[in-house]
């Protein structure tokens, strides 16, 4: 069933409307009156609708059933990734959305080569959120993950530590594996924090421990900065029964 996202404000009532890009998409798909589509509010609610009238600029829908999204993960996972070089973050945003992350948070760390300024970040955030929206639609998500930027490493630690299970991955950690960390106690929310190309400094790792994060390893091999968060996210989803 074809899926469309509308704003929460457009989601109420017995009749919904697809306009703008949604209407253009419906036109490209050649949707006609009588066909059924799925409309989501991007926050976990969705409804099955029947097309009443399909015009190039507007598609009128009759709501048949409202329900909670059937495709969202039971565990809420936040991916925290230090600013990488080039367009690596775009790749992580797209794939993390497909895998079920509820949000992707970028932040500066000591060894970050990429340090975008406030002006460029505004444009980048708009693009990153569009990537998340597109990936959510293509992968059948009921929620669109929010893409955020935090101003400092300390702000990241304080926010990440609020999860039931807050994990940081460090290539020099040997004692605690991700499997061990996930098997220790129940959780509904998880934070996954990874560093940039040059890794995290020892002082940053110690600050994370002090803030309450569990430092663990992703194995004997060193993963690229764009591989590590997706590896960890996949493991969490598997452990929680999503796969």
Tokens of 121: 């970040």
Tokens of 31: 């949707």
Confidence category of residue 28, pLDDT binned at 50, 70, 90: very high
| % of the chain residues with pLDDT over 90 | 90
Q: Does pLDDT of 120 surpass 90?
A: no
| Cα 140 to Cα 13: distance, rounded to the nearest angstrom | 23
Separation of CA 55 from chain center: 33
Architecture of the CATH domain 76-239:
3-Layer(aba) Sandwich (3.40)
Quote the pLDDT of residue 118.
82
Query: Under CATH, which number does the domain 3-68 receive?
Result: 2.40.240.20
pLDDT digits (tens, 9 = 90+) for 124-175: 999 999 999 999 999 999 999 999 999 999 999 999 999 999 999 999 998 9
Quote the pLDDT of residue 128.
97
Burial of 188 (0-12, 13-18, 19+ CB in 10 A): exposed
Query: What is the per-residue burial (b if ≥16 Cβ within 10 Å, else e) of 100-124?
Result: bbbbbbbbbbeebeeebeeeeeeeb
Closest CA to 200 of 182, 218, 187: 218
DSSP type of residue 172 = T
Q: Could you state, in order of their start, the residue ranges of all structural domains in the chain?
A: 3-68, 76-239
pLDDT digits (tens, 9 = 90+) for 193-234: 999 999 999 999 999 999 999 999 999 999 999 999 999 999
Quote the pLDDT of residue 229.
98
DSSP type of residue 111 = T
Show Cβ contacts of residue 205 under 8 Å, excluding neighbours closer than 6 positions: 168, 170, 215
pLDDT digits (tens, 9 = 90+) for 45-68: 999 999 999 999 999 999 999 999
| Cα 117 to Cα 97: distance, rounded to the nearest angstrom | 25
| Cα 23 to Cα 58: distance, rounded to the nearest angstrom | 6
Confidence category of residue 242, pLDDT binned at 50, 70, 90: very high
Closest CA to 59 of 137, 116, 2: 2
Confidence category of residue 23, pLDDT binned at 50, 70, 90: very high
């Amino acid at each position: 069933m074809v899926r469309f996202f509308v704003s929460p404000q457009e989601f109420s009532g017995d009749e919904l409307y697809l306009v703008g890009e949604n209407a253009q998409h419906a036109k490209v798909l050649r949707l006609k009156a009588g066909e059924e589509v799925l409309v989501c509010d991007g926050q976990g609610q969705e409804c099955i609708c029947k097309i009443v009238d399909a015009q190039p600029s507007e598609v009128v829908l009759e709501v048949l059933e409202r329900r909670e999204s059937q495709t969202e993960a039971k565990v809420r996972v936040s991916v925290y990734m230090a600013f990488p070089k080039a367009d690596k973050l775009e790749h992580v945003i797209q794939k993390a959305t497909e895998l079920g992350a509820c949000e992707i948070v970028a932040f500066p760390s000591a060894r970050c080569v990429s340090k975008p300024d406030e002006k460029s970040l505004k444009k980048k955030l708009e693009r990153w959120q569009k990537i998340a929206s597109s990936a959510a639609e293509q992968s059948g998500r009921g929620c669109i993950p929010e893409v955020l930027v935090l101003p400092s490493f300390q702000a990241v630690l304080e926010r990440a530590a609020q999860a039931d299970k807050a994990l940081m991955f460090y290539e020099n950690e040997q004692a605690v594996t991700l499997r061990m960390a996930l098997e220790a106690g129940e959780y509904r929310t998880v934070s996954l924090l990874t560093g940039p190309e040059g890794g995290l400094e020892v002082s940053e790792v110690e600050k994370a421990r002090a803030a309450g994060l569990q430092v663990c390893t992703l194995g004997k091999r060193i993963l690229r900065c764009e591989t590590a968060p997706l590896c960890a996210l996949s493991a969490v989803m598997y452990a929680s029964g999503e796969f």
